[in-house]
Structure 1
């Protein structure tokens, strides 16, 4: 019985052309040999299993080959090539820096460099895992690397270039090896399977290549393992069973259930995955990748980004056409957020199940958003049947009586939070018709019920000029004469009603100084911009009350900012903020940037 040789050794490349997935490296090295432009030191960098040490050995053998072929490959038959293949070459030396990383090891190497080669033109030193050398060893090696003998060539290999001293890097030609593509790796595994008379499925080889994560040596190790497991019959099922990989079918079925909004079957599929021994974090990560692949399959230009076999690619194409981009993007965002929170969650299963339930309701949310932002409720159905005048207006706008008839007592509206008090209204010469217009809502977001929900993102935005205050003011045709005593009486009555509310600032404005009546224009003194803004907010309520009570619908109000004769200590939140703002105007920019309010 012959001794078994693992595929990673048996099929290790021996020529530049047989190196997989590193054409940019091999072509450069072949041209350098052909043009006799060899550097004194090479540095091969890249992840594990991509061919760094293999390329270093091929380069060393080819440099010293006595009969280089026309395609710049070693002949393999000369004495130099044979001695290298047998491992007894006196001109090519390999050093493992992981176990020979001291200053003494480097000093020994420097002593050997002084001796010219006995056979061949060059004396070549391959130092693997060079980043493992100590700081002192690097410094000892530095001078020799900078000015080596003309016959000495150093080939360094490492997986961690950032650990190498910059002074070493500057003296080397640096070659960065790429991760080997899945397609190239799958083709290489297929060629080995054909040489070994192994039956295989292309889907199974693609899974091995994906699991290897760009390293051919890892792929060959898994390949040998699955050959033994499947008795030389590599199938898709045998690969996912042996490597403990989640089947694509789980994810395809899951997306079908999510699109159908079938939450029960979605949770059952996840439960089946857990019962098969898979981790929830691994599942949600794979689901995010699956959704990403579906988005990639949406466009023909990005289809090449799918590193899967043709059969699986066809499935992605079919499912991507059946699902909307909005659903996929929302589901991908939910899966990504779940993956971020998964490790910190105490109930990890619930975290994944909650994410799946959210995905199941994405389709309904998309349909709802397309139909409109308002969902009719029982209260809104009743409002549709009532006449427009009977619909209650928001509390912030005081309702006016629809008609004021002669010789009758009208019950005027009251400020917010004030209990209704019977007030005898003046008897006009004729009935006053006061149409009630629906007040436009300002600064409010979308609603999905009869209750308005404020949009906090726009609560501090400036009101547009076209939103006229006249739309909120009661209108009429009565213009009775207004005496100062009657005006002050109604003014103080309205102010007294504010005591029972939270509008303390407006009460302070109305009572701190006596208002002036100039014809039908009321002038009110305010001390700062905060009070001016508060007066503008309460202006509509004040005028709606006074116009009805005084039976004059031409009454208007304006604030006049005056300079303080004495400094009064601020006691409300608005006044404190205004005092702080006068000292540091940058506070306003900070408040707007973080959408902060005043409590």
Structure 2
């Protein structure tokens, strides 16, 4: 007798597909909202489910269809308690119920497909309490199809329910969204996903290693379908077991411990050892682009642990990642980690575009190793000025990052030139206080209701306090003071200045001081410079003095092509405007 044919294998993603809300993992917020709505009989007629691939959008739509059409011996009544199959549940689960219509919008995008739905909506359900339309990938519908659906979606018959699913919620018109109750399905967290996979493996009677599950969970990126597909593949690849070695080979991953060793060698400047480790991982089958990506992942992990120490407790991390990641976070400065991330991120793109990925990966590692050995700006300034290097603010450990960036705050170069400012290095622990209490705090000009102007400098400050940009720019750049006394000012207009500014200034002064001011224009040709011109001249002189400073000269010689870009003057030097003496008393005409 011939053997009976065996049933075809059903993949894990379909075999363990949730059939009710008790087995739907990772979407507790949505289940609670729906449970409250069903309990209060406040069930909407249209729902839209959005989220990344594999988080349960279509599955949730089918469970909702069961909940709408649940009918038992007591009669039809919508409920989320689906522990006992109702009259229509089996047909809905198997996708053959006549009143639950599923449509793939990716292959039915036109208005004609929507017209079929609009026409069928007029007819009551054949056997179930509700006629349910499930439209998957609804964002693929055309504009005409969306517009044709609007009226029916807003006022459907009482026996019709719509459930939409999409991965691109932003492509769905707002007119559709406003007619639906929206649920955002979240990525499944590593803790929940790990427990879910363990329960499935226990039901299947398959042994596994925790490290292997951690790799699968990380690769699955919060998608239940992706994780189950990878688990299916790992079981087949490992001949009935799920081990770390087989998962590494299947995913083309390098050994995580070797990746961490490679990270330590690179950040320690040991490029020879790093290249040997890279070659060994490549010979074991690891892809160069994957190796660079793994280094990026570990750099991000160390940085995240440095900022949020609790990140080391993530269950998807291997013991090496958890322990050594925390050690690196305590030893490396944020400057070193961000520089490593930038170099690796750029290297990943180069490896993806290179004809020979291994060569591009090795060049990226060499660049990172030599960058790790570069002196910090503080060390460089100390060497140029023949001074001892400043002590780092953050600890360096075990020879890592030799002569690398310290953890101190930014430091600016001091140039001994006239009217130049020295910006001191601020330690991280004192930086907030230094920011809250600056050494030179600008004193705001507090003006009373009627201001008192005693000098040309007070007049400029008053225009600034009143935020009169036109008057202030004219005072600084269009006129030069000749004489100043209470109620009377004599000025000389610069070439090209607008004469109408005199009347404007007079009106402003009367409004600000409550007095009439006589403003006259000197008949003599203007001599000297305006305040703006004087400030520009002082800046130019300071720039020249800075360029001649010995320390700056040493820097320019050390770095060919470098140049002095900007020189900042002190506030008091920049705003220096000598008060004008009052004009001499006028003589009588006798």
Q: Per the shorter chain, which TM-score range? A: 0.5 to 0.7
CA contact (8 A) 2:69 2:78 kept: no
CA contact (8 A) 1:53 1:128 kept: yes
Work out whether 1:128 is the aligned partner of 2:136.
Answer: yes
The 3-state SS of whatever aligns with 1:139 is helix
Residue in structure 1 matching 2:234, options 196, 218, 226 = 226
The 3-state SS of whatever aligns with 1:54 is helix
Q: Distance in 1 between matches of 2:13 and 2:355?
A: 43
Work out whether 1:200 is the aligned partner of 2:208.
Answer: yes
CA contact (8 A) 1:45 1:160 kept: yes
The 3-state SS of whatever aligns with 2:306 is coil
Alignment of 1:502-541 (within 5 A): none
CA contact (8 A) 1:44 1:155 kept: yes
Count residues with an aligned counterpart.
406
Deviation of 1:463 (Å): 6.3
Alignment of 1:347-426 (within 5 A): 349=358, 351-362=360-371, 364-366=373-375, 369-370=378-379, 373-374=382-383
Work out whether 1:290 is the aligned partner of 2:261.
Answer: no
Deviation of 1:138 (Å): 2.6
Q: Distance in 1 between matches of 2:380 and 2:89?
A: 77
Matching residue of 1:263: 271
Cα 1:220–1:319 shift into 2, 3 Å: same
Deviation of 1:149 (Å): 0.3
Work out whether 1:183 is the aligned partner of 2:191.
Answer: yes
Cα 1:328–1:134 shift into 2, 3 Å: closer
Cα 1:84–1:352 shift into 2, 3 Å: closer
Which structure 2 residue ranges, 5 or more long, are not aligned? 1-5, 387-544, 574-590
Residue in structure 2 matching 1:14, options 19, 25, 46 = 19
Q: Distance in 2 between matches of 1:243 and 1:447?
A: 55
Q: TM-score, normalised by structure 1?
A: 0.60
Deviation of 1:341 (Å): 4.9
The 3-state SS of whatever aligns with 1:374 is helix
CA contact (8 A) 2:62 2:92 kept: no
Cα 1:115–1:356 shift into 2, 3 Å: same
Work out whether 1:165 is the aligned partner of 2:200.
Answer: no
Deviation of 1:447 (Å): 8.3
The 3-state SS of whatever aligns with 1:297 is helix
The 3-state SS of whatever aligns with 1:126 is strand
Matching residue of 2:117: 109
CA contact (8 A) 1:202 1:309 kept: no
The 3-state SS of whatever aligns with 1:49 is coil
User: Greater CA deviation, 352-361 or 249-258?
Assistant: 352-361
Matching residue of 1:308: 316
Residue in structure 1 matching 2:348, options 322, 328, 339 = 339
Deviation of 1:280 (Å): 3.4
The 3-state SS of whatever aligns with 1:233 is coil
Deviation of 1:346 (Å): 7.3
Matching residue of 1:90: 98
Deviation of 1:351 (Å): 4.7
The 3-state SS of whatever aligns with 2:102 is strand
**1:116-151 Cα distance to aligned partner (Å, 9 max, x none):** 224343221111122233333333322211211011
Residue in structure 2 matching 1:38, options 35, 43, 46 = 43
Q: Distance in 1 between matches of 2:278 and 2:41?
A: 61
Alignment of 1:494-573 (within 5 A): none
**1:156-182 Cα distance to aligned partner (Å, 9 max, x none):** 112222333332222111222222222
Work out whether 1:53 is the aligned partner of 2:58.
Answer: yes
Q: Distance in 2 between matches of 1:255 and 1:338?
A: 14
Q: Distance in 1 between matches of 2:54 and 2:337?
A: 35
The 3-state SS of whatever aligns with 1:155 is strand
Which structure 1 residue ranges, 5 or more long, are not aligned? 378-438, 468-599
Residue in structure 1 matching 2:567, options 440, 447, 461 = 461
Q: Distance in 1 between matches of 2:287 and 2:552?
A: 40
**1:317-365 Cα distance to aligned partner (Å, 9 max, x none):** 2443454444333322322333355556677655543432343345543
Work out whether 1:320 is the aligned partner of 2:426.
Answer: no
The 3-state SS of whatever aligns with 1:149 is coil
Q: Distance in 2 between matches of 1:336 and 1:129?
A: 33
Q: Distance in 2 between matches of 1:310 and 1:20?
A: 23
Q: Distance in 1 between matches of 2:328 and 2:562?
A: 39
CA contact (8 A) 1:259 1:363 kept: yes
The 3-state SS of whatever aligns with 1:18 is coil
Alignment of 1:582-597 (within 5 A): none
Q: Distance in 2 between matches of 1:288 and 1:175?
A: 33
Q: Distance in 2 between matches of 1:463 and 1:285?
A: 46
Q: Distance in 1 between matches of 2:86 and 2:351?
A: 61
The 3-state SS of whatever aligns with 1:338 is helix
User: Greater CA deviation, 118-127 or 232-241?
Assistant: 118-127
The 3-state SS of whatever aligns with 2:266 is helix
Work out whether 1:144 is the aligned partner of 2:149.
Answer: no
Q: Distance in 2 between matches of 1:123 and 1:450?
A: 79
Matching residue of 1:28: 33
Q: Distance in 1 between matches of 2:259 and 2:218?
A: 17
Matching residue of 1:589: none
The 3-state SS of whatever aligns with 1:16 is coil
Cα 1:456–1:14 shift into 2, 3 Å: same
CA contact (8 A) 1:94 1:125 kept: yes
